[in-house]
Structure 1
Amino acid sequence: MSKRNDSRKSVVVVGGGAAGSAIARALSGKLDPSKHELTLITSRPFAVHLPAVIRLTTTSEGKLEDSVLIPYDKLLINNNGTVIVDTVTSIEDGKNGRGGDVILSSGEKIHYDILILAPGSQWSGPLDLPVGDKAEVLEFIKEWRKKFESAKGVVVAGGGAAGLEFAGEIKDYWPKKPVTVVHSQSQLLNDVYPDKYRKRAEQGMRSRGIELVLNDYIDDWNPSGTITTRKGKKLNGDLLVSAFGARPATEFITSLGSDVLTSQGNVKVLPSLQLRSYPNIFAAGDVIDVDEQKQLAKTPAHAGVIVANVLSILSGGSATKEYKGSPELILITNGKNRGFGYFGFLWGILVGDFFSRLLKSKGLMIDIARKAYGQPA
C-alpha cells in the first residue's frame, strides 16, 4: 500500500547526496508540517562527502571515515520530515500534476504530490562505495587501503579530476611507488578548460614523478600480469584503478517513459528544472541534462531554483524561477599540500599550490560539508 497522508501535500526527495540533502534541508526549514509532509529517501544510512573519498580510500591517516561518512540525524531542521533508508526502484506518476508513488526495493510505496530526483552518479573503482550498512562500507575502504599499500605500482585509468587526485594522494604516502595516469586525450582533463590550465595540470603531475600516457586507453580490466594499454605500451604497475566514466544513477527513472532520459542517462529538464512532461517532478545535481561539468559546486544553485519553485507551487503559484547555469570552476588536489585550480570568470584565473592547499587540499572541505548536514565541523 502507498504510504499517504491525504490531509497534507507530500514532497519526496530521492537522493541524500549534496543536491538532495541541500533541497531537503532547505524545505524542512520552510514547509509547514501541518500542511506538508517531507520525505528524503536515501540508499545509505549516512551521506558521503565524495571529494574526500579519494584520500579516504587511499590511506588510514586522519581516520577520515569518522568525518566523511556523515549521519542524517541533524539534516532536517527541527526534525521537520522523515528520512527513509531504502532504494527507489521505479516511479508511478499520476500525470497532470496529480502526484504518484515511488516504489522502494522493500516493496513499500511512498506517495508524492511533488517529487525531486537527485540520485547522483554511479562511480567505479575505489569511488564505488557499496550501498549497505556502515560495516560494509568500512570493509570496502579497508580493502582498498590494503590494495594501495601492497601495490608495487599503480596505474590510474582516467586523467580527469578524480584520476589526478588519486595519483597525487598515492605520491603523498608512497613517494617512490610508480604511478601512471592513462588518459584518452592529448591533454589531461577535457576541453571545457583552457589549454593553459590543462598544461598546468600536466606540470603538476609530472612534478611529482607521475608518468602520463596520453592518447591511449586501458581495455583489459582484469589483467593477470603486466598492465598493457590499447597501443601496446607496458606499464609499471600491478594495481589498476578506474577513475573515469561516472554514470548517472537514473535507471529507475525510465519507469516514467523512454523519452525522459537522454541516451547518456541524464534527465531532460526545463530551465525551471522540472521534467518536460511532468510538472510535479524536478531533478537536480549530476543527473540533469544541462551543458555544464558535473560538480558539487553546482548543486547550491540547483537547490535554490527547485526550493523556490516547489514553495511557489505549494502556495498555488507556478514554477517561474529558472536555472541560468554556473561559471565553470575546478580545484584539483595534488596531495595534501599541492594543487591547481581554475575559475572561469574575468580572464580565467589560475591558482596554484598555496590557494589549493588553503581552499581544499589540506582539509578537503570536510568541515563545510558537515555543516551542510547540520553536523559540527
Structure 2
Amino acid sequence: MPSTVAVVGGGYGGIGAARELDAAADVVLIEPRDTFVHHVAALRGLVDPAWVDRIFLPYDRLLERGRVVRDRAAAVDPGGVVLGSGERIDADFVVLATGASYPFPAKFAEADSAEAKARLRDAHAELAAADAVLLLGAGPVGLEFAGEIKAAWPGTAVTVVDPADDILAGAFPEEFRAEVRRQLADLGVELVLGTALTAEPATPPGKTAPLTAATESGRAISADIWFRCHGVAPATDYAFDGGLAAARQVGGGLQVTADLRLPGHGTVFAIGDVTALPEAKTARNASAQARAAAAGVRALIEGREPAPYEPMPPGIMLPLGPARGAGFSPATGVLDAATTAQFKGSEMMVGHYRELLGLD
C-alpha cells in the first residue's frame, strides 16, 4: 500500500512538497484557503487592480493522484492531523508548511478569496486618495512597497522609517544596498533611518486620514495613510501532540534537524516560514526546502535515510515597481534594474506558479 503524506499548508512550501510527492505517495494537502495566494505579487495587486485576479490561483490541478482538503489543522501528532471539523487524517508522514503571518497588504488572513480581493480593492481606493504615505520598515517589503507606490502614483510622497541604521538587513554587499538607495532616491522615496516612531499612528493602518507621527529623533512626519511593513510570526497555533510541542521555539518557529525533521520525530518534517532556520523567509527558500523534504520522505519510503538540507546561498530579487529594482546573489553579483525587471519585476513570477499549479 502506498504511504500517506499529510502536507499541512498550501503556501509556497506546501504546494512544492505536495507536487513533488504526488507520484510517490497518497498526498493530502490541508489548507483553509480556497485558492493558492501568490503573496509575492500582493503589493502589485494593491497598487494595480488589474493584478488582483492574477494572484489567486486555484488548487484544482495541482495534484494528479492526491487531494486537497479545505480545512485548518487543529492538532498535529506524528501519526496525522486533526482538522477543525473534527475529522482526522491519518498519515505515515507529516510535512508542516503552515507559513507565517505578516501585516496586510504583504499578506492577508482571509481564507475566502472573494473577501481578500475585496479587501485589496478597498485598500487600493484608500491609497489612491492619499498624497503622502508613511511606511514602517526598511526591509524588502517596505522598500518594494515604496517602489510600487511610486510607480503607480509618482506624485505621492513616500517616507520609510526604520530604527536600523541602513536598509535591508542581511548578508548583502554594500554595492547592492547602494544601488537600491540610488533608485529609491531617483523615485523620490525618503528614508528616515536610525530612529523609530515614539508611538504608532492612532489611525488604523491602510485607512486614509491625516496624521502626524513623531520620531524618537524629534522629527514630525505628516502623512495621509500608513502601513506596517514588519512583524513576521510563524503560524504554529495548532496543538502539538505526541511530543511535537518540544520543537516549538520562543517566537513560534519550529526547530528542525539537518534534514528538516522535528527532533526525535523521524516522520515529521517542517519547511518554509514555519521553521526556526536562520534563513530569509522567502518563497525561494521555502521551495528549496520543499524539494529537500520531499526527497527525504521518498528516501524513507524506500528504506533510506534522508540527506541533509543544503541551504541556498543568500540572494534577493527586489523589484521597485515593474521597471525598477535590484538583485544580488554570489553567483551573479549585483543585478541592475533591467535584469531585475526581466526576472521578476514585470511579471512577478506569476507564470512560474501557474505552471506549478498545473494551470498552463
TM category (shorter chain) comes to over 0.9
Kindly provide the CA deviation profile for residues 25-58 of structure 1, in whole angstroms up to 9, marking residues without a partner as x: 1111333xxxxx3200012011111110011022
Show structure 2 runs of 5+ residues with no match: 204-210
Contact 2:146 2:189 in 1 (8 A): yes
| Alignment match, 2:13 | 19
Moved more, 161-170 or 218-227: 218-227
| CA shift for structure 1 position 110 | 1.5
Matched, 1:41 2:30: yes
Contact 1:310 1:319 in 2 (8 A): no
TM normalised by structure 2 equals 0.93
| CA shift for structure 1 position 338 | 0.6
CA distance in 1, matches of 2:134, 2:171: 25
| Alignment match, 2:291 | 304
Alignment of 1:252-263 (within 5 A): 252=238, 254-255=240-241, 256-263=243-250
SS of the residue aligned with 1:126?
coil
Alignment of 1:200-349 (within 5 A): 200-218=179-197, 220-224=199-203, 225-252=211-238, 254-255=240-241, 256-315=243-302, 317-345=303-331, 349=333
Matched, 1:57 2:37: no
CA distance in 1, matches of 2:81, 2:75: 6
| CA shift for structure 1 position 222 | 4.0
Q: Report the identity percentage.
A: 29
SS of the residue aligned with 1:282?
strand
Structure 1's consecutive aligned runs of 4 or more residues displaced over 3 angstroms after TM superposition are: 218-222, 253-258
| CA shift for structure 1 position 126 | 1.2
Kindly provide the CA deviation profile for residues 129-151 of structure 1, in whole angstroms up to 9, marking residues without a partner as x: 13322221111111111121112
2:22 to 28, 51, 63: 28
CA distance in 2, matches of 1:290, 1:23: 18
CA distance in 2, matches of 1:374, 1:239: 39
Contact 2:135 2:228 in 1 (8 A): yes
| CA shift for structure 1 position 219 | 5.2
SS of the residue aligned with 1:53?
helix
| CA shift for structure 1 position 253 | 5.5
| Alignment match, 2:66 | 81
| CA shift for structure 1 position 125 | 2.4
CA distance in 1, matches of 2:3, 2:319: 44
Alignment of 1:156-167 (within 5 A): 156-167=135-146
Alignment of 1:55-134 (within 5 A): 55-60=44-49, 63-76=50-63, 78=64, 80-93=65-78, 100-134=79-113
| CA shift for structure 1 position 258 | 4.4
CA distance in 2, matches of 1:338, 1:370: 24
CA distance in 1, matches of 2:197, 2:105: 17
CA distance in 2, matches of 1:29, 1:232: 60
Contact 1:54 1:127 in 2 (8 A): yes
Tell me which amino acid in the other structure corresponds to 1:299: A
Contact 2:102 2:231 in 1 (8 A): yes
SS of the residue aligned with 2:256?
coil
| CA shift for structure 1 position 190 | 0.4
CA distance in 2, matches of 1:23, 1:47: 14
| CA shift for structure 1 position 82 | 1.1
Matched pairs, number: 352
| CA shift for structure 1 position 238 | 1.9
Matched, 1:9 2:9: no
Moved more, 113-122 or 213-222: 213-222
Moved more, 129-138 or 147-156: 129-138
SS of the residue aligned with 2:298?
helix
| CA shift for structure 1 position 127 | 2.2
Kindly provide the CA deviation profile for residues 291-346 of structure 1, in whole angstroms up to 9, marking residues without a partner as x: 2211111233212221122112223x13331102111110111111111111123x
CA distance in 1, matches of 2:130, 2:219: 19
| Alignment match, 1:97 | none
Contact 2:77 2:244 in 1 (8 A): no
Moved more, 181-190 or 229-238: 229-238
Contact 2:80 2:94 in 1 (8 A): no
CA distance in 2, matches of 1:109, 1:328: 39
Tell me which amino acid in the other structure corresponds to 2:328: Y
Task: Flag the 1:253–1:127 CA change in 2: closer, same or farther, 3 A.
Answer: farther
TM normalised by structure 1 equals 0.89
Tell me which amino acid in the other structure corresponds to 1:284: I
